[in-house]
Structure 1
Amino acid sequence: MQKIAHRGISAQAPENTRAAFEKMVNLGVDWLETDIDMTSDGQLVLIHDSKVDRTSNGNGLVNHNSLLGLQKLDFGQWFGDEFTDERIVTLQWLIDFINAHALNVNFELKTEVKHEQQNFYLMRVHQSLHQLNQTSQVIVSSFDVDLLKKYHELMPKIPIGLLIEGELPNNIIELAKNVGATYIHPDVTYMTEEQVKLLLSHDLQVNVWTVNEAVVAKKLQKWGVHAIFTDFPV
Structure 2
Amino acid sequence: MLLLTLPPALSIGAQDAAPDMRVLKAQLRRDLLTAALPEHKAHREELLALEKKYAAAQDYSHAIKARDERLRIEQEIGVMERELNTLAQRSSSATATRPGERIELSFTEASLGAGVHVDTKDKSLTGWDSVGASATWKLPNLPSGGYEVVLNHQGCDANAMLKESFYSLTSGLVKESSGKAVDQTLGTLRVKDGTGTLTLTVGPPEKCTSLRVYSVALIPVAR
TM bucket, shorter chain? under 0.3
Is the strand fraction higher in 1 or 2?
2
Larger radius of gyration: 2
TM-score norm. by structure 1 comes to 0.21
TM-score normalized by structure 2? 0.22
